[in-house]
């Protein structure tokens, strides 16, 4: 830890991939023992930040200190003090839980690890299953095992890249409790990335909202939400509606179209909804959704788009597969 009480700090952190600026002059200050979230759409630069902070990817410009060591000058010391829980499964299914821990200890040249391993197994309630092959574990147990592996060498900081992606709601909830528990019980600082609004809101002491490589807002979830003095109404209708018709409704302060959805910024959903129903009575409201101040509306407020629907990666992906299809024809 640095004298300033920060587990992670970065100034002007930047990453270029050729001409692409994946991370653009980001400043980070993560107090020791807290949970910090990077929230943003596909391709925003979240994973790239983690890669730079863990020494996996060179820093193009700027500086970063993790667990008291400069990442560019002292990557080995950083690596010894951080853990990584990747979205991809890192477990060996043919080995038991205990053998996975043993393998992890081998890979990291740990000598004193058994006591810690037993403590982790007990904490994650896996003691009884430690001799069973990990291939027989449930999704939740596998997640616990992955976190146990990342904690084995007693890191000061753990990085979790999309820890709950692809999990069903129950396992996701369980994992939220686990991450909070690990943070409190082991005093470990957590930096995680997420697309999920509720996840960042529930878990994180501080959140940075990231878009196109830049931090567009940083603060506690409640600070960020307090900035938005508006509700958002998302609307789909079966008849074509003009923006002018929506803008004319009292209390509607802005109107944007995203695909087939209208996104209205309104002073108060309670006041505006009756007027909206009245005005659109003949246009066939197909779907309506009210977004009260949330980290999602913070993102919409700043960037003009929703987190889930935004992002170049989906388009890149579609472009890529379109070109593959064309090549095969
Ligand atoms: N090795 C690489 N070479 C070239 N470009 C890259 C490389 N890695 C990432 N990028 C690009 O950098 C940008 C940021 O990518 P990054 O993986 O950090 O985004 P992300 O926020 O983690 O997205 P996701 O939510 O999809 O995981 C993207 O435009 C991506 O295509
Ligand atoms: Mg990523």
Asked if residue 68 belongs to a domain, the reply is yes
Q: What is the pLDDT of residue 3?
A: 58
Q: Are residues 163 and 245 in the same domain?
A: no
User: Which of the listed residues 46, 50, 58, 308 should we mutate to test ligand 1's pocket, taking the one with most ligand atoms within 8 A of CB?
Assistant: 46
Domain shared by 69 and 113, yes or no: yes
| CA 141 to centroid of ligand 1, rounded, Å | 29
Evaluate whether residue 275 is within a structural domain. Answer: yes
What average pLDDT does range 108-132 have in this prediction? 94
Query: 17: Cβ below 6 Å to ligand 1?
Result: yes
Residue 176: pLDDT above 90? Answer: yes
Average pLDDT, integer, range 181-206: 91
Please tell me whether residues 145 and 278 are part of one structural domain: no
Do the Cβ atoms of 81 and 66 come closer than 8 Å? yes
Provide the pLDDT for residue 247.
94
On whether both 38 and 17 belong to a single domain, the answer is yes
Claim to verify: residue 126 and residue 257 sit in the same structural domain: no
CATH code where residue 269 lies: 3.30.70.260
| Statement to judge: residues 44 and 59 lie in one domain | yes
Please, which residues have CB within 8 angstroms of residue 169's CB and are 6 or more apart in sequence? none
In a domain, 317, yes or no: no
- Domain of residue 202, CATH code: 3.40.50.300
The verdict on residue 314 lying in a domain is: no
Distance of CA 327 to the CA centre of its chain: 35
Whether residue 106 lies inside any domain: the answer is: yes
Average pLDDT over residues 127-145: 94
70 within a domain of the structure (yes/no): yes
What percent of the chain stands above pLDDT 70?
91
Number of domains composing the chain = 2
Mean pLDDT value across residues 84-100: 84
The pLDDT of 200-211, averaged and rounded, is 93
Q: Does 175 map to a domain?
A: yes
Mean residue pLDDT of the chain comes to: 87
Question: Where in the sequence is the domain holding 159, given as residue range(s)?
Answer: 6-224
Q: What is the pLDDT of residues 150-162, one digit of tens each?
A: 999 999 999 998 8
d(CA 319, CA 317): 5
Question: Is 96 found in the same domain as 243?
Answer: no
- Give percent of the chain above pLDDT 90: 59
pLDDT of residue 208: 96
Q: Are residues 149 and 257 in the same domain?
A: no
Q: What's the sign of the alpha-carbon dihedral 81, 87, 93, 97?
A: positive
What spacing in Å lies between the alpha carbon of 310 and ligand 1's midpoint? 14
72 and 126 co-located in one domain? yes
Residues paired with 83 in a beta bridge: 158
Question: Are 123 and 34 found together in one domain?
Answer: yes
> 321 pLDDT exceeds 60?
no
Tell the residue nearest (CA) to atom 7 of ligand 1.
Answer: 17
Protein residue whose Cα sits closest to atom 8 of ligand 1: 48
In this structure, are 130 and 262 located in the same domain? no
Residue 267 has pLDDT above 50, yes or no: yes
Split at pLDDT 50, 70, 90, the class of 308 is low
The answer to the question of residue 148 being in a domain is yes
Residue 320 has pLDDT above 50, yes or no: no
Q: pTM (2 decimals)?
A: 0.80
pLDDT top residue among 69 and 197: 69
Q: Which atom of ligand 1 is nearest to the CA of 316?
A: 31
Check pLDDT > 70 for residue 313: no
Q: Of 59-63, 200-204, 236-240, where does the model show the most confidence?
A: 59-63
Compute the radius of gyration of the chain from its Cα atoms.
23
Q: What's residue 157's pLDDT?
A: 96
CA distance 10 to 59: 11
- The band of 15, judged by pLDDT with boundaries at 50, 70 and 90, is very high
Give yes or no for residue 324 having a pLDDT over 60.
no
pLDDT of residue 48: 95
Q: What is the CA angle 80-215-1, rounded to 5?
A: 30
Is 48 a pocket residue for ligand 1 (Cβ < 6 Å)? yes
One domain, residues 96 and 236: no
At 100, the pLDDT band (50, 70, 90 cuts) reads very high
Quick: pLDDT tens for 59-68: 999 999 999 9
**Residue 240 has what pLDDT?**
83
């Amino acid at each position: 830890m640095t004298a300033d009480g920060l587990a992670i700090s970065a100034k002007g952190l930047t990453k270029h991939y050729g001409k692409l600026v994946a991370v653009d002059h980001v400043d980070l200050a993560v107090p020791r023992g807290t949970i910090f979230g990077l929230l943003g759409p596909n391709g925003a630069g979240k994973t790239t930040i983690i890669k730079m902070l863990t020494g996996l990817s060179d820093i193009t410009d700027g500086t970063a200190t993790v667990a008291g060591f400069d990442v560019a000058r002292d990557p080995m010391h950083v690596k010894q003090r951080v853990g990584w829980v990747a979205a991809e499964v890192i477990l060996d299914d043919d080995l038991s839980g205990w053998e996975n821990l043993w393998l992890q200890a081998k890979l990291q040249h740990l000598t004193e690890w058994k006591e810690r391993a037993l403590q982790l197994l007990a904490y994650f309630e896996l003691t009884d299953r430690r001799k069973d092959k990990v291939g027989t574990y449930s999704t939740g147990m596998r997640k616990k095992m992955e976190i146990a592996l990342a904690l084995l060498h007693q890191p000061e900081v753990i990085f979790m890249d999309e820890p709950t992606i692809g999990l069903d709601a129950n396992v996701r909830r369980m994992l939220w409790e686990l991450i909070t528990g690990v943070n409190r019980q082991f005093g470990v600082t957590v930096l995680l990335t997420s697309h999920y609004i509720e996840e960042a809101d529930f878990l994180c002491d501080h959140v940075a909202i990231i878009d196109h490589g830049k931090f567009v807002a940083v603060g506690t979830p409640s600070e960020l939400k307090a900035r938005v003095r508006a509700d958002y109404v998302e609307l789909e209708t079966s008849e074509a509606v003009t923006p002018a018709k929506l803008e004319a409704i009292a209390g509607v302060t802005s109107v944007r179209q995203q695909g087939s959805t209208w996104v209205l910024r309104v002073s108060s959903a309670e006041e505006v909804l009756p007027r909206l129903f009245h005005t659109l009575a003949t246009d066939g409201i197909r779907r309506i959704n009210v977004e009260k101040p949330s980290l999602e509306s913070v993102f919409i407020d700043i960037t003009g788009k929703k987190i889930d629907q935004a992002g170049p990666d989906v388009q890149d992906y579609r472009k890529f597969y379109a070109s593959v299809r064309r090549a095969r024809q």
